A and B are shown apart, each in its own frame.
Chain A
Amino acid sequence: MNLTPFIPEIASTQAYQFELLFWYIAITTGLVGGAVYAALAYFCIKYRRGNTTGSTPRILGSHRLELAWTVMPLFVFMSYFAGGVIVYNNAAHPPEDAMEIFVIGKQWMWKAQYPTGQRIIIGGNPRNMTEAERESIGKLILPVGRPVKITITSEDVIHDFGIPAFRSKMDAVPGRYTQVWYHPTRTGEYHIFCDQYCGTWHSLMVGKVKVVEQKEFDDWLMGHTPLQGSRNAVDGSLAHEGRQLFLKLNCISCHSSTPNGKAPVLEGLYGSRVPLRGGGAEIADEEYIIKSIRRPRLAVVDGWESIMPAYDETQVTKEQMDALVAYIRSLKKGQTPDRTEYFPAPNGAPTYPRTQSPEKK
């Protein structure tokens, strides 16, 4: 049981401004409140019945005093208002050069998406997740000392993306986009809370934001140091790009891990020895993989029908081919992604009836 320090961690420029304003209000209201308490206590002791004759003066009021304690609070309150506007104005208007990140809330997790393609699932309720999702729970990675703009929306009900260490909070409203921005000033890990009640596991829609040095952040963007606990290639590397292609070109509809798939599962394929139809075998190296995509009928795996279409350079460019190979290289046992319809489309995308919803499996 550790006691938190009296002032919570200040990890952004906005948090610093908040604390200044908060303590300005706290001290002024404390003084006024304390003065009223002192007056109450003094009157209650001095004028208690046993201490008086029972006779009291007929005091009806004083316009001068009442005017004073009408106008003076008004001025003080206006100073709170002005200070609040300064902080809020700053919080509401991100700088031009801010890096942009998109965050989507859904019951009960956050999905963050970086402009370079990295996707992170933050928090979420472990009890409500598939094994794959649980493995890939991540943290929102932010660089220190650089403004970041977060655009927020929600897929279902209203959530609220709040980071206390940044003294920031913004509702995620379905059908709307809201914005916040941070300028983190300290590295470290801080809480992310969902602050708007959103149902059963509202309190488990929590996660962490990890503020790292710029270099570490760049490395992570490049996929060199996967900070996330993910087994899937969701780290922005070449393999990640290949994974996107693998899904986009519908390779997954045959090369799936479902029991009655129409094509072999590619997990652990790279480097293995592949038996071919009509005898013989080949080592599945890069050349073999490229050949199998460009001209699949040349070497069909033993036991499978030759049904795969060929992909020429108009369909898969050389760069894309590299990405696909990198992805297939990275595929380990149990990593074949689920079919794309598993993932609900973003709000507003054209929809089609889903046969089964993943939550109800």
Chain B
Amino acid sequence: MSIAIGQQGPIAAPPPPEPDPLPVNYLNNGYSIWSWLFTVDHKRIGILYLVSISIFFVAGGIAAGVVRLNLLQPDGAIVTEDAYNRAFTAHGVMMLFFFLIPAVPAVFGNFFIPMMIGAKDLAFPKLNLASWYVFMLGAILAIWSVLAGGIDTGWTLYPPYSTRASQSHVIPGVVGVFISGFSSIMTGLNIMVTIHKMRAPGMTWGRLPLFVWALYATSLIQLLATPVVAITLLLIVVERMMGVGIFDPTIGGDPILFQHMFWFYSHPAVYIMILPGMGVISEVLTCFSRKNIFGYHAVAWSSVGIAVVGFLLWAHHMFVAGISFYAALLFSLLSMLVAVPSAIKVFNWTATLYRGSISFHAPMLFSLGFVVLFIIGGLTGLFLATLGTDIHLHDTYFVVAHFHFVMVGGMVMGYFAGLHYWWPKMTGRMYSDWWSRVAAIIIIVGFFFTFIPQFYIGYHGMPRRYPNYPHEFQIFNVMSTAGASILGIGYLMPAVYLTLSLFYGPKAPANPWSATGLEWQCPSPPSVHNFDKTPVVVCGPYEYAIGVDQMGRGLPEPPGVDDNPARRSGITGPAGPMNKETEVVG
């Protein structure tokens, strides 16, 4: 019993009198650049990913800023059409391939999957490091193609435009995405094998935290779908470089073939992006409402259901591309089916809050933001899955708004929820409670202002990827840009207060949120091998009502309404099941 809840003792001293010899953790056991670049520690690799994707998030955000500013005027406010086309392509490529896809799996998956299942590392630590190098190689190629003049094909790269007509740097960009795909496969494989083979004693499949289930489903998609986009991108390069007719009809190819192959990956890829976010939300909502998840099995299996059904509906991106009538019917029907598990998740999350004891720290605010925005994103998806409405809404701003509600309102919210939830564990520091709550609210408000007007102009027919548009849409574009400015400020705030917390933040206790997961049993920041002794799991992941963690030990007192979690030592709870009235329903 010498591990886990901080330095076990009668009472750990509050922050000021620090224990002199700093315990060795993964951060302070080596400061040289090589100790980072050659590390095989899953936590350090997670941090490497965190730093790199933050850079790409900023880069993609700048491109988004150019796009939004340019739309202030109906004929383009700041840049030429060509520059605009390059900006939205850079935004899409950066955000999708180099931020959203690696965001949660490669940062929090790498960092926390081993800790949550009670393992010392991922199954293949060197493969894990290799995946970061491969990712960076791909990213550098993609960035080079942007700096060298950019790509103007849109992130969807539809031929024959991308293979014949585009005068931009398609090949380095495509090769960059192709290479970074291997990193995604490696991460997926690693996480999957780790979950199968390295669970601690007692950590049965039914006791896995839902974040682990979500990443398992994500890894399945990464593993099976990414090779398809890899070969598709390679075919683009072959056609563009050597003129082999694959997609271009004038030399014997078929442009629709590309769309099938591309969406066979890229549709499941949106589930690569959203599922990990859903996993984060399941962790945070339970912790901050002090409740068991409502319907553990339904939430867990709906992740797998989304992953499997997600493979079967790619052609709903092609309802007006001239595919056969009956194919359209089938893909519309299957698209309806994938909405069901998403609906189950939302209902179960909502029911989880029932009779909880809810506190509104930043992770919870981001998670509630996720649920609120994801509901709109999911429901507007139904308009696009329905054939009769898609023939008008396809390729309009309605699609843009829907997609951003799911990806930004959903996934980026989930990412920020996870970042704020696990930041004390990753860095050992608490950030400003007040500023983080303000940032969460600003981001949610800014988000609404940015994307609600886009539903309206999309419904009125404004096509996407238009730097020039009819005058009647201007006021809504101005509103959207104004909202995007608020959103941009909201995103800058965490960059400031999280960075400041590294230097000035109070030391974080081992379990600041009084959460049940095994990752909170390690000190903050975790020691090099996470656990001194392999933990033994005795119960499911969310026993907040009883008040025990997964090892059956009592939880510290949860943060109150307005206290600051940093002020508590984190180990004030009774050692043993709390004496609470317990009621089992259902």
Q: At the interface, yes or no: B581 with Cβ under 8 Å from chain A?
A: yes
Q: Which listed residue (A22, A87, A157) contacts B164, Cβ 8 A?
A: A157
Question: Quick check: A62 and B340 within 8 Å, CB to CB?
Answer: no
Give bound CA distance, A173 to B256, whole Å: 8
> A181 to B248, alpha carbons, bound, how many Å?
27
- From known contacts A77-B339, A80-B336, infer whether A162 and B463 are also in contact, taking CB-CB under 8 Å: yes
Residues of B within 8 A of A26 (CB): 383
**Inter-chain contacts of A47 with B (CB < 8 A):** 289, 353-358
Complex interface: stretch among A192-200, A261-269, A310-318: A192-200
Instruction: Give bound CA distance, A47 to B581, whole Å.
Output: 17
Convert A64-97 into 0s and 1s, putting 1 for each residue whose CB lies closer than 8 angstroms to a CB of B: 1110011001100110110111111101100000
**Known: A37-B372, A200-B82. Is A58-B582 also a contact (CB below 8 A)?**
yes
Q: How far is the CB of A149 from chain B (nearest CB, A)?
A: 15
A interface, size bucket: 35 or more
Q: Is the CB of A55 within 8 A of B581?
A: yes
Interchain CB contact (< 8 A) of B395 among A86, A88, A162, A178: A162
B386 interface residue, CB < 8 Å from A?
A: yes
Distance of B454 from chain A, by nearest CB (Å): 14
Residue in chain A with minimal CB distance to B333: A81
CA distance A64 to B325 in the complex (A): 38
Q: A84-B388, A203-B467 are in contact. Are A61 and B355 (CB under 8 A)?
A: no
In the complex, which residues of chain A have a beta carbon less than 8 angstroms from the beta carbon of B292?
A: 58-60
B357 & A49 in contact (Cβ 8 Å cutoff): yes
**Which of B161, B249, B585 gathers most chain A CB within 10 Å?**
B161
Contact with A along B452-475 (1 / 0, CB 8 A): 000000011111111111111011
Check if B388 sits within 8 Å of A17, measured CB to CB: yes
A25 interface residue, CB < 8 Å from B?
Answer: yes
Complex interface: chain B residues within 8 A of A22 (CB): 383, 389, 392, 459
Question: With A33-B376, A160-B320 given, is the CB distance from A197 to B329 under 8 Å?
Answer: no
Is A4 interfacial (CB 8 A cutoff)?
yes
A60 to B1, CA, bound (A): 29
Complex Cα distance, B458 from A319, in Å, reads: 52
Q: For residue B546, which residue of chain A has the nearest CB? A: A58
Chain A contacts of B355 at CB under 8 A?
Answer: 47, 56-57, 59
Give the CA-CA distance A157 to B248 in the complex, in Å. Answer: 9
Chain B residues with Cβ below 8 Å from A210 are: none
Interface check B20, CB cutoff 8 A:
no
Does A18 touch B at the CB level, under 8 Å?
yes
In the assembled complex, the Cα of A194 lies from the Cα of B81 at a distance in Å of 15
Docked CA distance A36–B378 (Å): 13
B558: chain A residues within 8 A (beta carbon): 49, 54
Decide if A167 touches B391 in the complex (CB within 8 Å).
yes
Q: Flag A25-66 by CB within 8 Å of B: 1 or 0 each.
A: 110010011001101100110011110111111111111111
| A102 on the B face (CB < 8 A) | no
Nearest CB to that of A165 among chain B residues? B461
Give every chain A residue within 8 A of B249 (Cβ-Cβ).
Answer: 173-176, 347
**The stretch of B8-16, B104-112, B196-204, B343-351 that contacts the partner chain:** B343-351
Interface extent on B, as a size class? 35 or more
**Quick check: B466 and A175 within 8 Å, CB to CB?**
no
List chain B residues, Cβ under 8 A from A87.
Answer: 387-389, 391
Please tell me if the beta carbons of B160 and A156 are within 8 angstroms of each other in the complex.
yes
Complex Cα distance, B331 from A81, in Å, reads 10
Q: How far is the CA of A18 from the CA of B459 in the complex (A)?
A: 11
* Contact (Cβ within 8 A) B329 A50: no
In the complex, the answer to whether A18 meets B392 with C-beta atoms within 8 Å is: yes
CB distance from A48 to the nearest CB of B (A): 5
User: Once the chains bind, are A8 and B389 in contact (CB under 8 Å)?
Assistant: no
Given A40-B372, A58-B292, check contact A21 B388 (CB 8 Å). Answer: yes
Task: Say yes or no: is A299 at the interface (Cβ < 8 Å to chain B).
Answer: no
Q: Across the interface, which residues of A come within 8 angstroms of B332, CB to CB?
A: 81, 84-85, 88
Query: Which of chain A's residues 276-334 have a Cβ closer than 8 Å to chain B?
Result: none
Interchain nearest-CB distance for A222 vs B (Å): 32
Does A44 contact B353, Cβ atoms closer than 8 Å? Answer: yes
Are A204 and B395 interface neighbours, CB within 8 A?
A: no
- The 8 Å CB contact of B325, one of A57, A83, A92, A160, is A92
Query: Is B394 close to A, CB under 8 A?
Result: yes
Residues of chain A in range 165-199 having any CB-CB distance to chain B below 8 Å: 165, 167-171, 173-176, 178, 191, 193-199
In the docked arrangement, what's the CA distance between A70 and B581, Å?
A: 31
**B2, CB-defined interface residue at 8 Å:** no
Q: Is A231 an interface residue (CB 8 A)?
A: no
What's the minimum C-beta distance from B433 to chain A, rounded to whole angstroms?
A: 14
Given contacts A8-B460, A199-B165, A203-B465, contact A57 B583 (CB under 8 A): yes
A73 to B387, CA, bound (A): 18
Complex CA distance for A22 and B382, rounded to whole angstroms: 10
Question: Known interface pairs A66-B298, A194-B463, A201-B81. Does A55 touch B348 (Cβ–Cβ under 8 Å)?
Answer: no
CB distance from B275 to the nearest CB of A (A): 18
Give A239 to B41 CA distance when docked, in angstroms: 81
What A residues does B380 contact at CB under 8 A? 29
Q: A158 in the interface, Cβ–Cβ < 8 Å?
A: yes
Q: A residues within 8 A CB of B262? A: none
* Closest CB in chain B relative to A67 CB, distance in Å: 9
Instruction: State whether the Cβ of A164 lies closer than 8 Å to any Cβ in chain B.
Output: yes
Which residue from A48, A193, A198 sits with its C-beta under 8 Å from B358? A48
Question: A146 interface residue, CB < 8 Å from B?
Answer: no
Point out the residues of chain B lying under 8 angstroms from A17, CB to CB: 388
CB <8 Å contact, B353 and A49: no
Residues of B near A92 (CB, < 8 A) are 325
Q: Which 8 A-B pairs have CB atoms at the shortest separation, nearest pair first? A: A164-B461, A87-B388, A175-B249, A61-B295, A58-B545, A88-B387, A84-B386, A62-B586
Given contacts A197-B158, A202-B465, 4 further A-B contacts (CB under 8 A): A50-B561, A59-B584, A175-B254, A197-B465
Give residues in A with beta carbon < 8 Å to B: 1-4, 8, 15, 17-18, 21-22, 25-26, 29, 32-33, 36-37, 39-40, 43-44, 47-50, 52-66, 69-70, 73-74, 77-78, 80-81, 83-89, 91-92, 107, 156-158, 160, 162, 164-165, 167-171, 173-176, 178, 191, 193-204, 206, 347
CB<8 Å pairs between A and B, sample of 29: A8-B459, A21-B389, A22-B383, A33-B375, A36-B346, A49-B561, A55-B545, A56-B545, A57-B583, A58-B582, A59-B351, A59-B354, A59-B545, A59-B584, A61-B297, A70-B340, A85-B387, A88-B329, A89-B325, A169-B394, A170-B320, A173-B256, A175-B255, A191-B470, A197-B153, A202-B81, A202-B465, A203-B466, A347-B250
